[in-house]
């Protein structure tokens, strides 16, 4: 998860929201929404490298629909191809192999994804 702002088009990694059997920890997610009061949400949509959809793409689109319904906020799906690769590279550059942990990679990928969306939309 990451939190961003439109003025500077920057984002800050904010950790992860754990999921169990494909369902996020809604309480934790809703607490974050209350804390940050976002105007919209951005969700990574996994695609194959050739741009085609996969099973996880459908899961992400279903999650987007649940977010819209439950949180009553606009939710934008964004192509997340190569964000994990870029996140690993940035983390390695700043802290070597010790910096590359799953939670750190996911949070950095969320930051990269959100900043790209902000740059394109603001």
| Parallel/antiparallel/unpaired status of strands 41-45 and 75-79 | parallel
Q: Residue 94: is its pLDDT beyond 90?
A: no
Q: Which has the closest alpha carbon to 41: 50, 53, 32?
A: 32
Q: Per this entry, what is the length of the chain?
A: 122
Q: In this predicted model, what pLDDT tens digit does every residue of 26-74 receive, in sequence order? A: 999 999 999 999 999 999 999 999 999 999 999 999 999 999 999 999 9
Question: CATH says 21-121 is which class?
Answer: alpha beta
Report the distance separating Cα 67 and Cα 62, nearest Å.
9
User: What ranges do the domains of the chain cover?
Assistant: 21-121
CA dihedral (53, 58, 59, 65) positive or negative = positive
């Amino acid at each position: 998860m990451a939190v961003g702002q439109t003025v500077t088009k920057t984002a800050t990694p904010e950790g992860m929201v754990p999921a169990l059997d494909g369902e996020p920890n809604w309480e934790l997610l809703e607490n974050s929404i209350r804390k940050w009061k976002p105007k919209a949400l951005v969700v990574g949509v996994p695609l194959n490298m050739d741009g085609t959809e996969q099973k996880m793409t459908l899961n992400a689109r279903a999650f987007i629909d649940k977010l819209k319904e439950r949180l009553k906020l606009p939710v934008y799906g964004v192509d997340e191809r190569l964000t994990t690769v870029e996140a690993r590279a940035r983390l390695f550059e700043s802290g070597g192999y010790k910096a590359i942990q799953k939670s750190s990679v996911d949070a950095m990928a969320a930051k990269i994804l959100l900043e790209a969306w902000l740059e394109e939309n603001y």
